[in-house]
Structure 1
Amino acid sequence: MTANEDGGEDRHEDQLTVDERTATTYRRTFLKGSAAALGASAIPVSAVRASTEDGNNDERRRTPDTARSSEGMVSTVHPQATAVGVDVLQNGGNAIDAAVAVQFALNVTQPHGSGIGGGGFMLVYVAEEDELYAIDNRERAPLGATADMFLDDQGEPIPFEKRITLGEAVGVPGTLRACDVALKRFGTQELSKLITPGIELASGACPVTVDEHLASVIQEEQSKFNDAARSVFTPGGTPLKAGETLVQEDLAETFRQIKNKGIGAFYGGEIASATAGVVQKHGGSMTEKDLARYNVTIDHPDVGEYGDLTVRTQSLPSSGGLTIAQILQLLEKLDLRQYGRRSPETYHALIEAFHLAYADRGEYMGDKALVDVPWQGLLDEEYVDQRRSLIDFESADLAGVEPGNPWDHQPGQPYRIVAQNESNTAPSERTNQKRAASSLQSDLGQTTHFTTADSEGNLVSWTSTIEQFFGTGIMVPDHGFMLNNELTDFDAKPGGPNEVEPTKRPLSSTSPTIVFKDGAPFMTVGSPGGKTIITTVAQIILNVAEFGMSPAEAIAEPRLYDDVDPEVIWEPGLPSEARQQLQALGHEFADEPMPLGNAQAIFAQDGAYLGVADGRRDGSVVGL
């Protein structure tokens, strides 16, 4: 991957700093001509000068794609999906309508990352109500799921590489239900209209060309495909190559059935029977009843603060909201601006804050419908001050740190009976309750994030997923969609808040986010990347709020990732001198860099939208 490292020498006029945006005043009609002089076309950002300090010019990440508009915006990971969303906005649809159409299009153009065989989390800002909603369409465990279903005969976890291909890994899909509910509650157009572009893409009427990214994923993941998936992605035994046309006629026909009969065609009848049948063939317990009883929840997001920004992110069972809020709260009082963004001090503070937050994440978080979580205690100021005091700028001591005890700072008493083997006591008071850290391999599940905005000020930030690339590798025969492996996000070993239970939603890191400033929407942001989503989104927010970066700079900036493990994962462009100083301090770095995340964002500024699509993949953003 290539990218621009330095950030800031050759700023385009649309790359405004935080200070330049502070005068922005939000009005519900602020896009109806108040910024007509800005124009409505996509404007590519000029190259941000690349850093050469570590000699990695050949590893530079690509400059983000940007666009500016006074009427609306769509930012996705694929140009054809972006074009579908823009077309909806141009023909009278709102941001919610556009997002649903984009979701169907991405099922076709990015079948390895999301689709109707998966689920996700969707934030919707409704300008007329001045209200933010979270539509939780996370996959659920079927009624037949058991706490020990990922253990072998010796009671040990089944190896992750095998676990992700099992029928037991498939959660009951929620994406299509979310499309339906979102349209009925917030949309203006019918699902039957919005699924039509997806049909045209899948059938080949509007050809889809395999890009380099999809071709490489097919090559890498083909060994886990069932016969139905092989017939589409490796026809005749040969993986599709970049530049070839991808036709998915079975998926097109499934979309046609949904168009004609509604989502009942998916959650019941022939499609549901085929879905349950193939899951059971691969060892899972899912039944047609599990599909028929699935529904989404509409909730309010978690809230965190950083300076004058209010960060609103998905609540549990996604750990994104609480963990991002805790990371930002840990960092805010450290005044990192005094050191500089690429200083050893800033990187050290990030790594240590990640250690602290992920320790608490792993110990306490699970599906809030079934688990009592000390969410107030985790963000209690006194508790966060105690945890921050463990950060020592003279040494790196927090890899493998024990979680704290937020229950001491949680108001009142637990309001639910705890799950079997779970305890509301401090970790030091428990026996056999230490949770093993999952491998990075299991945490790099891939998803798709996209975001839309319209002229009324409505916004959508939606992260959709089937977990690993191509999920389980199981395609529903004759129906053309891939099935997720989301249930591998549960802990394989029973015990603790994230153990498997029937109807439970597994813990997620998905973090669709909408940030507010002075009570008005300021930016949407999100990313794929498993547990690295949390640190990606947190760093982008920090880049804007603490270091005054422009939107494009904030997303292009090199990232790093760590959780409770000692090894730091890093991107090209992170200065070699800083790495050397951090290693001398005691941090361990992976031998080679790797790209982290693929963010899509929309900023509301000066009465217009500035959209940004990450350059780590072929992101595409277009304004009306």
Structure 2
Amino acid sequence: MDIREIFQQQKTSDIKKGEQRAIGDFGMTASATKQSSEIGAQVLRDGGNAVDAIVAMQFALSVSEPFNTGLGASGFLLVYNQYSGTTKVVNGHSKAPEHLSPNMCLDEKGELIPFFERTLNANFIGIPGILKAMKKANDTYGTMPLARLIEPSIQLVEEGMEVNWLWERALEMYGDRVGTTARSLFYPDGAPLKKGEIVKNQELAHTLRIIQDKGIDAFYNGEIGEAVIQLIHDKKGCMTREDLRGYRAEIQEPIIGDYKGFQLATPGPPNGAGVSLLQLLKILEKVKIEQYDKNSWEKHFLLAEAMRIVFSDKLTYMGDPDFYNIPVDGLLHPEYIAERVKLIHFERMNQGVDFGNPWKYEEKAHGLPRELRGGETTHFTAVDRWGNIAACTSSLEHYFGSGIMVPGYGFLLNNDLTDFYPTEESVNDLQANKYPVSTKCPTIIFHDGKPVMTLGSPGGPTIVASVAQVMINVLDYKMDLKEAIELPRIYNSTAPKILCDERLDENVKNKLRSMGFELLSTDIAIGNVQAILVDQENNRMYGAADSSRPGAAIGVGEEYIGME
């Protein structure tokens, strides 16, 4: 493939403010808030690298998008190092505490606690890993001191954050998740915050000052951690000080796959999204999805059926590799992919789609190279002047996480352990010291050993669908990056129900209905993709943010276009 075709389609003129896109030759950031993107871009202007920018952006998002991420969150960070030509994963995923028991899913009568109640239960707070991941990344790859990277977020929170439409909508739709302590922030004077109001979370500013002064260890082995554990104990949760002190963020190898001459790097298990993305793309490659128009019913039918196949396998086989063997090679083996493709036909939806048997392909699978040379959540990414790339997806799991805010410290705790299945009949069963399966999918795409694109999305189970669709829009249909992100998306799991963007063409919807699908149209976005294209030949970067949130892409080195 001539990679230049993709870059030639990128819009470079008549760009207006508010389009959430940018062009730069000295660096690029993209995130779900303008404040985070600008803080990251300033780090790049000041000589920091992509990892420095990502660390600063995580703290900024803790202020500007506190209901989706924060100090009590989890995440996966993907880092490409231009000098070594290597790509690594920094695993900051939440882990189950030592004293967690499957019985915690049951009430006094021995009956399963309803899911909504579990999401607000202190026993389902995972050991937060995002700060340890940021420290590990900063220590290993960063060039700026942590105190410098936190300072802009302290200024942001002390000056006051203007409430945007996403804050208002989050409270309208999920305000019932906000606990008592958090209500003082999100419901001042008893009424929910409205767009245009100014919020000054002084307790969070205090916490950030502690971390700036004493380091991230203050969270895991200091006064902040003491407050976290006391709160969890007060709410009858099982996490202990030893759980916090013992948490380690690990640097791991990514899983590597290929798609039509491109190579992809993305986190592997316990992250289930990476394997699912690669499997989905291999199926789409096999059926030659590019032969159908980007708006055709054929394209969307293939996407829907391929998703059903892939997610059937994910639900069956994906778990924590420290507890179970995961048939990664078998799931991606060419013969297994060919076997799964046979389930797709154009007559109608196949009622017989179910999980397959990848184990029989494990022995003859060629191991993927382990190193490449060359609810709710948020995703953010950065590319620096030297070509280093960092992409992070971090999360509290659901909007407002557990709804539990740490008194005096101003941040919410996650409810990541609701990602476990509350039964023993699954590889993703609930056990102590175990990672629940995650769907986070930060991805870097390479061509001839050089990075050409980085992207990711929030959206829980819809993340893989969002990332894959934007990828094929750019790589197969040669679309402008921003237009590729804005093209209506669909999501299908194992059921015949398809969640689809309400903007999807009515003729496509009707055709899919006639083929046995039930369509659930929604005006709530499917994902929120943040992406950057890297044209190394012409030393140019193209960034774009998804309009489903008030984010921005900001370029460094040339005049940029961001959100007003």
TM over 0.5: yes
Which residue identity lines up with residue 562 of structure 1 in the other structure?
Answer: N
Correspondence for 1:242: 195
Correspondence for 1:140: 95
Quote the Cα distance in structure 1 between the aligned partners of 2:111 and 2:254: 36
Aligned CA distance change for structure 1 residues 109 and 22 (closer, same or farther; 3 Å): closer
Correspondence for 1:616: 548
Correspondence for 1:174: 129
Correspondence for 2:152: 197
Quote the Cα distance in structure 1 between the aligned partners of 2:7 and 2:485: 20
Aligned CA distance change for structure 1 residues 255 and 534 (closer, same or farther; 3 Å): same
Correspondence for 1:330: 283
Could you tell me how far 1:227 is from its partner in structure 2? 2.7
Aligned CA distance change for structure 1 residues 455 and 357 (closer, same or farther; 3 Å): same
Quote the Cα distance in structure 2 between the aligned partners of 1:290 and 1:332: 44
2:413 to 483, 492, 498: 483
Could you tell me how far 1:46 is from its partner in structure 2? 6.2
Aligned CA distance change for structure 1 residues 46 and 231 (closer, same or farther; 3 Å): closer
Correspondence for 2:305: 352
Contact 1:148 1:493 in 2 (8 A): no
Could you tell me how far 1:490 is from its partner in structure 2? 0.6
Identity of aligned residues (%): 38
Correspondence for 1:71: 26
For residue 387 of structure 1, give the secondary structure of its aligned residue in structure 2: helix
Quote the Cα distance in structure 2 between the aligned partners of 1:139 and 1:148: 20
1:124 to 79, 92, 95: 79
Quote the Cα distance in structure 2 between the aligned partners of 1:254 and 1:289: 21
Could you tell me how far 1:320 is from its partner in structure 2? 1.2
For residue 96 of structure 2, give the secondary structure of its aligned residue in structure 1: coil
1:504 to 425, 429, 434: 434
Quote the Cα distance in structure 2 between the aligned partners of 1:44 and 1:250: 43
Deviates more, 1:222-231 or 1:78-87: 222-231
**1:380-395 → structure 2 map (5 Å cutoff):** 380-395=333-348
Which residue identity lines up with residue 333 of structure 1 in the other structure?
Answer: K
Quote the Cα distance in structure 2 between the aligned partners of 1:592 and 1:474: 29
Deviates more, 1:586-595 or 1:602-611: 586-595
**1:85-164 → structure 2 map (5 Å cutoff):** 85-164=40-119
Quote the Cα distance in structure 2 between the aligned partners of 1:256 and 1:592: 41
Tell whether 2:384 aligns with 1:454: yes
Aligned-residue RMSD, C-alpha = 2.1
Quote the Cα distance in structure 2 between the aligned partners of 1:280 and 1:412: 50
Count matched residues: 544
Aligned CA distance change for structure 1 residues 591 and 91 (closer, same or farther; 3 Å): closer
Contact 2:286 2:338 in 1 (8 A): no
Quote the Cα distance in structure 1 between the aligned partners of 2:76 and 2:435: 12
Correspondence for 1:405: 357
2:224 to 252, 271, 292: 271
Q: Specify every segment of 5 or more residues in structure 1 that has no aligned partner in the other structure, as ranges.
A: 1-16, 25-37, 48-62, 414-444
Could you tell me how far 1:545 is from its partner in structure 2? 2.0
Contact 1:64 1:555 in 2 (8 A): no
**1:253-304 deviation line (CA, Å, top 9, x unaligned):** 1111111111111101221121012112223100111000001111111122
Quote the Cα distance in structure 1 between the aligned partners of 2:447 and 2:86: 14
Which residue identity lines up with residue 428 of structure 2 in the other structure?
Answer: N
**1:531-585 deviation line (CA, Å, top 9, x unaligned):** 1001000111111222222212211111000111111000032111111111111
Quote the Cα distance in structure 2 between the aligned partners of 1:545 and 1:20: 9
Correspondence for 2:530: 600
Q: Which TM-score applies when normalising by structure 1?
A: 0.84
Quote the Cα distance in structure 1 between the aligned partners of 2:158 and 2:236: 31
**1:558-597 → structure 2 map (5 Å cutoff):** 558-597=488-527
Contact 2:496 2:516 in 1 (8 A): no
Quote the Cα distance in structure 1 between the aligned partners of 2:353 and 2:25: 48
2:485 to 534, 555, 574: 555
For residue 136 of structure 1, give the secondary structure of its aligned residue in structure 2: strand
Correspondence for 1:320: 273
Contact 1:18 1:550 in 2 (8 A): no
Could you tell me how far 1:156 is from its partner in structure 2? 4.2
Which residue identity lines up with residue 283 of structure 2 in the other structure?
Answer: L
Correspondence for 1:20: 5
